Structure 1
Amino acid sequence: MTQADDHDLRVVVAAYVDHLTVERGTARNTVDGYARDLRRYLAHLADAGVTDLRQVARDHVVGFAASLRHGEGDRPPLAPSSAARALSAVRGLHRFAHAEGWTEEDPARDVRPPPLTRRLPKALPVADVLRLLNTPTGDDARSLRDRALLELLYSTGARISEATGLDVDDVDRAERTVVLDGKGGRQRLVPVGRPALEALDAYLIRARPALAAKGRGTGAVFLNARGGRLSRQGAWQVLKVAAERAGISTPVSPHTLRHSFATHLLEGGADVRVVQELLGHASVTTTQVYTLVTVNTLREVYATTHPRALG
């Protein structure tokens, strides 16, 4: 940046977003989320008459944090997790600006979000998962694709974005593995169960060629009706429709099969660090939340079956 514009907040935000993308290699979804949060921050500061980086004080950051929880003008309040992410984006912005020497102090250094209530992930019982996986029953291209997608999500614990990002070359049917591109550009090799491989084989041999003929030659595993890569929204719709047809009353989210994968592994005796590697978590602390799910399940079973549990 030039001397004239190195304190313009819009320019500083653009430089920070470039830094995240180019130098830090931050995942695109994360960068997009931070950019949205920082646009909201700039609007908050503009309302206070602040457009210069050097004008920002701790009180401005504290005021922004409060606006995230309570709303401001036509900007609605955010959920606690979204508010924490937005404040993290602001803290990162000011830490970056201070490190670059554009400010003498970091006004956001001591502003922290309130601790989040730990929410346990929702996992389906095994019987419900099996019913969901068996919902696509036809032999048409869409049914074969949907069955392969659902089987793969549960067999590997992949995020929906990781499954839709799969290319044909990422699947090693001989070794029964897939290569998943996770958050932050981290790749991991994950084994695939036999039912999922059989569903993938049926789709790749009997359905994908016809779908691919309608497109422009993408290497994606999962294709839409036009022959292009299936989007995350499209894959989420597949899961949602399958859950409705399977009669599952529990709310289903894009992460439902991922949560079920992790919980069922731990209930089966898998080591938490193995599950961490399979899920692609950078820290085992993230994975340990699933151990709370299994402890709760054990507690419920104990309370309802042991003759002296309530004594």
Structure 2
Amino acid sequence: MEHISIRIDSNINIQTLLDRFKLVLLKIAQLDMVEVNFSPCRFISVTTLTALITLLKHIQTIKPIIYLKIIEPPLESTRTYIARMDFYRILGIDHREMFIRHSEIGRFMPVRNFQLTSGSHYEIVDNTIEIIKRNCELKPELLYGLDMAFNEMLDNINEHSQSQNGGYFAVQSQHDTIEICIADSGIGIAESLRKNKQYNTLTDQECLEKAWEKGVSDGNGQGNGLYIAARLIKLNGGLLSAFSKGAGYHITPVNSSSFVLKNVYWPGTIITLSIMRQNNIDMFDLLETNDVAELPVNYTDSLDEIDGADVLW
């Protein structure tokens, strides 16, 4: 039985994970088994777990009969976390859970798959906004802006990514941040943008850099989802990272930068937002306007739909 083992270390980053998956993707036709070895792993981030699930589902789509062998991590807390985030459920792996599941509403969101036909992305966005509302000191009106951004980002995956598996979304509240990860194994941001004749000569790196600007899209949709997400992170002092095909993009409190991935690629797009829980921002700053007429026409009305929007905690 020909197989490849993927080692998952504590705090492994996306580029290292992709490097370890490179041989799997190259030799997938010859492989009978992929082993995922968590034995060195004492901690795993929600982004790494979402990325891992997306890559493994991509492999299962290419070769449905492949066997996945999981070597569990040594710590019970890490084993429980991986199971509670629905790693085994999504991958269809039998696993006995040695813990009681409590409601995650307002606390975290296990990795969720969303498909165009299911309408599940509306529930995902609602639950994400609830987590942010309970755990961040953001002004109530910002929740509507974030609702718009997340809905557009998930719609883009559903309608334009051409991912056979839909997309994956997870949220984890931590000590001083909320980490949100969105991933798919579709055609990627660059190929999608190049469908618009304005951008059809741009490289992967140039497309990924352009994608965060206001109104940039493949010709369908408003093109504001990534723009609002990027503005939020810049103003909030958080972090953003994105990988799509052969390019990467980072936003930090200091600057933003794009780069070419060396000898690896992400089969689709993965985006991580780390929102600072204590840092508030203004809706006018978020949308780069001083004119109330330029704000979404019904954003104030939406506050009535958010239970307790006047008191966030």
Asked if TM exceeds 0.5, the reply is: no
Using the size of structure 2 for normalisation, the TM-score is 0.28
More strand per residue: 1 or 2? 2
TM-score (norm 1): 0.29
| Largest Rg, 1 or 2 | 1
